Amino acid sequence: MRLPLPLLAGALLAAGPALAQAPIPVGHLMDNSGPTSDVGVPYGQGVADTLAWVNQTRNGVAGRRLAVSGYDYGYQAPRAVSQYQSWAQRERVVAIQGWGTADTEALVRFVTRDRIPYISASYSAALTDAGGRSGRQGVEATPFNFFYGPSYSDALRGMLQWAADDWRARGQQGRPRYVHMGANHPYPNSPKEAGEALARELGFEVLPAIQFALTPGDYTAQCLTLKNQGANYAYLGNTAGSNISVLRACQTVGVQVQFLGNVWGMDENAMKAAGTAADGVVFPVRTAAVWGGTGPGMDTIRTISRVSDQAGTAYRPVHYLAGACAAMLMVEAMETAAANGGQVNGVRIRDGFYARRDWVPNGFQGVCNPSTFTDTDHRGTMRVALYRARVTGNTAQGSVQELMAAGTMSLQPVTTIELPRRADWLGW
């Protein structure tokens, strides 16, 4: 049936506002049940609460609510790839909040082909070579991959720089010994070669790597190996769950080593679970503040936290805050895409990530550290803030919040390392 031109024009005008207000479809991949769920749950909650808060307080982006489709894939990369196909082909998502390294790297070609910005919780350095200029074998151009915070490799480089300074500051003689520990898996392996290369450059003796699984277990044998090697600094490449087992076992057999935790390898929940075995672990924190801090950004985070905790009594670990910052980078990139009546699509959202320098989401000052992305370099920051886990007593009794308030547990700032943006580190 053909409508007369005046009626057709009227129909289009009537449909215009409705189309303009159509929800914006967004994917949210989570691990709430798999081997990394110990840190996946708080991070995913931070993302989910923040996106819900954007809908509640801002009516979404440019008057369009975010239609968030969450999926718990249990840290199984094939399930993530399958779900991605559904999001891309059926739901037509314009952006995705992702999770793990194996699945994120497996999806690089898909998101590039489909031009869907993918903001992951994997900080693999292989995701940072946006222009494909590094020339590194196996590293593809990643123009649609982003993440908040330093890469795994750069975080480890920062810790190794601190370790070299620490060794000298304590007046130690000879070459310090360094060892990489973790599962034979893309996530803990991601920074392995980069870390060992810089360790050698800094004068460390690099010891043979020690493997342990991503799941909790009895790692007494690994700790005895660590002890016999005489390592001085050991990098824990797994998430907190299995690292707790290592810390306990190593405390039992009397290992004397400075543990360096990766960004997912230590948090307040792990401190409570590991008890005094976690005391002294140095690890990177992505945000400018931890729970309990003050300032306008923390006021915003506390408001967001009430989305899933109306009483406002929950303690939010470091991963929750990082999830909020990652979500807000995506939201503000969408707002840039929508400016002046622009279409909120993948290419315009990607370009929104390039629109700012030293980018802190509005209202999150003092919480989200500055990020800068370019069309060739997706290393959002070269700043590595290091904290030390302090556990001074029994953590079996009391909640995390109670233990932190009592001073039984604390997160102590150590230093901030400003790494050079070396071209040879891009994508590695």
CATH at residue 168: 3.40.50.2300
CB 77 within 8 A of CB 102: yes
Residues 191 and 279 in one domain: yes
As a whole number of angstroms, the distance between CA 256 and CA 233 comes to 9
Report the amino acid identity of residue 302: R
* Phi, psi for 251 (deg, rounded to 5): -65, -40
pLDDT of 63 reads 96
The residue range of the domain holding 247 is 152-290+382-425
Residues 97 and 191 in one domain: no
Residues 338 and 322 in one domain: yes
| 367 within some domain | no
Residues 45 and 134 in one domain: yes
| 358 within some domain | no
| 244 within some domain | yes
Residues 91 and 179 in one domain: no
Measured between alpha carbons, how far is residue 338 from residues 18, 86, 91 in Å? 16, 25, 20
pLDDT of 243 reads 97
Residues 172 and 261 in one domain: yes
Residues 6+ apart with CB under 8 A from 412: 387, 388, 390
* Phi, psi for 390 (deg, rounded to 5): -120, 125
Pairing assessment for the beta strands 210-211 and 205-206 based on DSSP bridges = unpaired
Residues 156 and 141 in one domain: no
CA dihedral sign of residues 279, 280, 283, 289: positive
CB 262 within 8 A of CB 188: yes
Residues 114 and 146 in one domain: yes
Number of domains in the chain: 2
| 377 within some domain | no
pLDDT of 21 reads 83
Residues 191 and 284 in one domain: yes
Predicted TM-score of the model (pTM): 0.94
DSSP calls for 116-153: --EE-S---GGG--TTS-S--TTPPP-TTEE-SS--HH
Residues 389 and 247 in one domain: yes
| 93 within some domain | yes
Q: What is the DSSP letter of 313?
A: -
| 374 within some domain | no
| 53 within some domain | yes
pLDDT of 427 reads 97
Residues 6+ apart with CB under 8 A from 313: 401
pLDDT of 299 reads 96
As a whole number of angstroms, the distance between CA 390 and CA 400 comes to 13
| 51 within some domain | yes
Low-confidence ranges of the chain (pLDDT < 70): 1-20
Residues 18 and 164 in one domain: no
Structure tokens at 56: 């509640």
Beta bridge partners of 236: 181, 261
Residues 13 and 72 in one domain: yes
